Amino acid sequence: MGLESLKSEIFETQNAVSIMREYNFIAFSLPNHESAVWKWDGYLGCTTYVTKGGFSFNGSLVGPININYVHNLSSSCSSLIINTTNSNNKDQKMASAEQLVFELTNPDLRENALLDLSKKREIFQDLAPLLWNSFGTIAALLQEIVSIYPFLSPPTLTPGASNRVCNALALLQCVASHPDTRTLFLNAHIPLYLYPFLNTTSKTRPFEYLRLTSLGVIGALVKVDDTEVISFLLSTEIIPLCLRTMEMGSELSKTVATFIVQKILLDDVGLRYICTTAERFFAVGRVLGTMVTTLAEQPSSRLLKHIIRCYLRLSDNPRACDALRNCLPEMLRDGTFNNCLRDDATTKRWLQQLLHNVSGGNRVPSPQSLAALEHMLV
């Protein structure tokens, strides 16, 4: 068997075995000076050649096959082969990612690099730290974002320009969702660069895609329960921007925006913020009520689930719960959505709990609670 084309990459292992690999060949230099070469014959199988005294890389294997080693090598080294192969593939993927990230800083190569990275971001491990720590990369992504600001008003954004900036946003979402870069992302106030997109009202596809992808970045931030994230978003007035999308966006955009509001409400800081003033509470309640009315005509169980969860969380606040007695949509009480929720036991349970909370159960509102309700309605 010829090994003329075998090029070697040396990896040191704990048992001092050297591994030399190229494509489907792996050669072992054993501690007792015997050698073995495995030829990969498919996903699970391989053929083993074992020699006495070593082998030559410039010619054929020499020496008789030592059958005694075949079984031992099969049991002890198969995982080593697989791990080495996976490690090599991982190294190749990371090298590819590093090259694409490097190309982001070149205006002539950036568009293709954005497209490739956004498509492959799920297979590149630790892409987020690489993006954040590479010189000029985040600046290049922000440059892509601000470059389309002039096309927001009047709305003249083209599909191509929208797709390109959405690829940049997809990479920022990767940074926003990674535990090692999330706080850095927030401290740099990068979400603020997305807010002009959320403030648009055009319903054309380029703008809808832009809003949806921007919401995806914010959604990635709130997906992990973190009061620091919620506090930051509240300080930047994210609620009105989400409410705008909940009113006029596509079903998918409405769903993501409602999910963001839900996650904010589920945090004690967020619930307290929304329920502190009547203006904030009724702004959220009005939009949720409008969405319920729309869903009665065009049902969406996914969107309805988030709406009901928002209402249920609001009912955890005594003042808000008292207010909901008067403003909770009747369609949530009269069985309008029974068919829509037929196969969703979790949401049905949430709705039942909501109605129980709002009805007060056996609880009699205290004078303080009634006074608070009167204050909210003023």
pLDDT digits (tens, 9 = 90+) for 166-202: 999 999 999 999 999 999 999 999 999 999 999 999 9
Report, as an integer, the average pLDDT of 140-148. Answer: 98
Q: What would you report as the CA-atom Rg of the chain, rounded to the nearest whole angstrom?
A: 30
Residue 266 has pLDDT above 60, yes or no: yes
Prediction pTM value: 0.73
> Is residue 154 classed exposed, middle or buried when 0-12, 13-18 and 19+ CB atoms within 10 A define those classes?
exposed
Residue 326: its pLDDT value, please? 92
Reported as a pLDDT band with limits 50, 70 and 90, residue 361 is low
pLDDT tens digits, one per residue of 202-245 = 999 999 999 999 999 999 999 999 999 999 999 998 999 999 99
Residue 323 has pLDDT above 60, yes or no: yes
Averaging pLDDT over each range in 69-73, 126-130, 366-370, which range is the top one? 126-130
Residue 95: its pLDDT value, please? 78
Residue 64: its pLDDT value, please? 39
Strand partners, 27: 20, 37
Query: Which is nearest to 24 in space by CA: 11, 7, 10?
Result: 7
